[in-house]
């Protein structure tokens, strides 16, 4: 029986155009929580008898900003996440050279920090901010908060929010289209660290027409098309065993 890591290495070596489709499980080894595991962000909110789709929505942000921002600050660990072995491997793979495309559901920008050049952020990122009233853009260090811990624009007192896609908002059409094009033109698709339960992201993988599909995830995924290799391990630990 062929070793799964050896087979993964073989498929990567043979491929020229690789799309890595990743979710929260890619960054858990960087100290960031996932969403739907036993200790995930959604699960923790549900333990508090809160509906994640409600308290992580744009409507909740607008109508109850003090609760939105204080809930977020309470739940987040005071850590500065760093890229892990998966992020670094994918970035270094471009130097082989390989045409490596990253499509991520994460908002942490760890792929860019590691050095990846082509990253499509389906749900935006938490490093860019703007005022919801005037549209002025702010860097994290420029943000000022009021006595209720709400980020406010000093010009018009509008709420400053991160450029992330919340519940009740749609992924930008141009971002979705770019992701479709990259997947459709790849010969290897690696699906990693995602439950594939969120629309429309879960449907993107159906645009793949290439040769091989690999899944790296601790829990089984329901995918209605052929998968060539399944590795039920942590994403970073898996990539740590590969060579460039």
Judge if 93 and 209 occupy the same domain: yes
* Catalytic pick among 17, 111, 123, 206: 123
Identify the pLDDT of residue 10: 97
Identify the pLDDT of residue 75: 46
How long a stretch of residues is the chain?
244
Judge if 159 and 197 occupy the same domain: no
Three-state SS for 227?
Answer: coil
Vertex 184 angle, CA 178 and 185, to 5°: 95
Identify the pLDDT of residue 121: 98
What is the domain-level CATH number for residue 204? 3.40.50.1220
pLDDT tens for the 244 residues of the chain, in order: 579 999 999 999 999 999 999 999 999 999 998 766 665 666 677 777 888 889 999 999 999 999 999 975 444 545 689 999 999 999 999 999 899 999 999 999 999 999 999 999 999 999 999 999 999 999 999 999 999 999 999 999 999 999 999 998 999 999 999 999 999 999 999 999 998 988 888 899 999 999 999 999 998 888 888 999 999 999 999 999 999 8
Judge if 110 and 199 occupy the same domain: yes
Judge if 101 and 41 occupy the same domain: no
Contacts of 107 (CB under 8 A, 6+ apart): 121, 123, 124, 125, 126, 162, 164
Identify the pLDDT of residue 222: 85
Judge if 84 and 197 occupy the same domain: yes
Judge if 88 and 109 occupy the same domain: yes
Identify the pLDDT of residue 49: 80
Query: How many Cα atoms are found within 13 Å in the side-chain-facing hemisphere of 219?
Result: 12
Judge if 42 and 55 occupy the same domain: yes
Contacts of 50 (CB under 8 A, 6+ apart): 71
Identify the pLDDT of residue 74: 47
111 given a catalytic annotation: no
Identify the pLDDT of residue 198: 84
Identify the pLDDT of residue 36: 63
Judge if 9 and 91 occupy the same domain: yes
Of the candidates 61, 70, 73, the one whose C-alpha atom is nearest the C-alpha of residue 159 is 61
Judge if 97 and 63 occupy the same domain: no
Give me the number of domains the chain comprises: 3
137-138 sheet: strands from edge to edge = 137-138, 124-131, 160-164
Query: Domain range spanning residue 49?
Result: 33-78
Judge if 62 and 183 occupy the same domain: no
Judge if 132 and 228 occupy the same domain: no
Judge if 186 and 237 occupy the same domain: yes
């Amino acid at each position: 029986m062929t070793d799964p890591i050896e087979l993964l290495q073989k498929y990567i070596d043979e491929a020229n155009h690789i799309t890595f489709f990743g979710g929260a499980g890619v960054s858990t080894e960087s100290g960031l929580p996932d969403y739907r595991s036993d200790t995930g962000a959604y699960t923790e909110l549900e333990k508090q008898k809160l509906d994640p789709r409600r308290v992580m929505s744009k409507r909740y942000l607008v109508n109850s900003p003090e609760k939105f921002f204080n809930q977020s600050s309470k739940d987040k660990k005071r850590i500065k996440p760093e890229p892990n072995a998966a992020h670094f491997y994918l970035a270094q793979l471009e130097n082989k050279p390989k045409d490596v495309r990253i499509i991520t559901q994460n908002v942490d920008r760890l792929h860019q920090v590691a050095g990846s050049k082509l990253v499509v952020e389906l749900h935006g990122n938490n490093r860019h901010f703007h005022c919801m009233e005037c549209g002025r853009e702010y860097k994290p260090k420029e943000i000022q908060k009021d006595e209720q811990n709400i980020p406010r624009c000093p010009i018009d007192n509008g709420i400053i929010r991160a450029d992330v896609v919340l519940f009740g908002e749609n992924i930008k059409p141009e971002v979705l289209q770019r992701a479709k094009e990259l997947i459709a033109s790849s010969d290897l698709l690696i699906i990693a660290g995602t439950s594939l339960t969120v629309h429309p992201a879960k449907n993107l993988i159906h645009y793949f027409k290439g040769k091989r599909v690999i899944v790296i995830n601790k829990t089984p995924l329901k995918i209605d098309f052929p998968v060539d290799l399944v590795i039920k391990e942590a994403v970073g630990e898996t990539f740590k065993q590969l060579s460039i």
